A = this chain, B = another copy of it.
Amino acid sequence: MNALPLLEPEVPEAVAPCCPPLTERPFTADEAETAARMFKALGDPVRLRLFTSVASHEGGEACVCDISDVGVSQPTVSHHLKKLKDAGLLTSERRGTWVYYRVEPSVLAAMGKLLTIAPVAA
């Protein structure tokens, strides 16, 4: 059975239109909630290695099989990739036998904006 299109993968775009640079002004509770979701997703060594592997892979995408050598079991890799996906940082697509992950394009821009160096407030 598969007639329940209920559980959406949460927020597909969790970062994109989010927040001002970290140094511009205090974040509101909502902004903090949103941005923290991204930072949290990248706040694990394994996930960071997976993310950088995908982000730096030729073509901007990588097969799970190409990046799963990070010292943890394969289910754990899958678990982390799912978290990155739920956080809106990666997208995945199955092509035949393999599943490919790629970096959500808007994400890099949003991250760059977040960490824009502002002239250390007056």
Contacts and interface: CB of A to CB of B under 8 A. Distances in A.
A74 interface: no
Given A56-B121, A59-B122, A26 B43 contact: no
A46 B26 CA distance: 11
Interface string A100-122: 00010000110110111110111
When all copies of this chain in the complex are counted, the total is: 2
A29 B45 contact: yes
Report the interface size class on chain A. 35 or more
A39 interface: yes
Interface in A35-54: 35-37, 39-49, 51-53
A79 interface: no
B26 A53 contact: yes
A76 interface: no
